[in-house]
Amino acid sequence: MTDDHDWDQIDASLIRMRRLLEIPRGATDDVDLSAVFVVDTIARRAKDGMSTRIADIAHHLSVKPSTASRLVRSTEAAGYIQRSISPDDPRSVVLHLTSTGEGLNTSARDFRTDILRKATIKWDANTIATFAGLLDEFSRAASASTADC
C-alpha cells in the first residue's frame, strides 16, 4: 500500500520539474509561456498530419474556448502563428506556424530535451524507454482525471 510519504515525494518531484516549462534561453522577453504551448500544440498536430483549430487548442491545453481564442490571438499578434481558411470547411480557420513560430518551437523543444538528456545521462536505453512509457501513461491518466476538475 502506498503511504502519504510516497505521494508527497511524487508531488515534490513534479514541482521540481517546473524548469521544463520555462521559456528557452535566448528567447526574447516578449515570449509568453502560453505562446510556447500553442506553438507546441500546432507543431505536434501537424507532425501527426492533423490541422489545428482553436477548439483543438482549447482541448489540448484543457482551457475554455474563450481562453483558447485569447491565447491564439496573442500568439498570432506575436507573429508565431497565422490563420487560414480551412480547406475542409470555408467557415472555419486553421492555424499554422510561421517561420518565427517554427523557430520558437525548435528552441523550446531543444531546451526541454537538453534538460531531459542531462538528467538521464547515466540511464541506459531500456531505462529511458521504460521511463518514457510510464511517464506517458501517467500524464494521460492524470490529464483524464483532472478533466472534471
Query: According to the model, what pLDDT value does residue 15 have?
Result: 84
pLDDT tens over the chain, length 149 residues: 668 888 898 888 888 887 777 777 666 556 788 999 999 999 999 999 999 999 999 999 989 999 999 999 999 999 999 999 988 888 889 999 999 999 999 999 998 899 899 999 999 999 999 999 999 999 888 888 776 55
Query: According to the model, what pLDDT value does residue 128 have?
Result: 95
Q: Which residue matches cell numbers 480557420?
A: 93
Asked whether 107 and 27 are in contact (CB, 8 A), the reply is yes
Nearest to 14 by CA among 147, 148, 146: 146
Sequence-distant (6+) residues with CB within 8 A of 52 are 41, 42, 45, 46, 94, 95
Asked whether 76 and 69 are in contact (CB, 8 A), the reply is no
DSSP state of 18: G
* Amino acid code (one letter) for 10: I
Residues in the chain: 149
Nearest to 73 by CA among 34, 45, 99: 34
Query: According to the model, what pLDDT value does residue 30 have?
Result: 67
Asked whether 24 and 110 are in contact (CB, 8 A), the reply is yes
Cell of residue 117, nine digits: 538528456
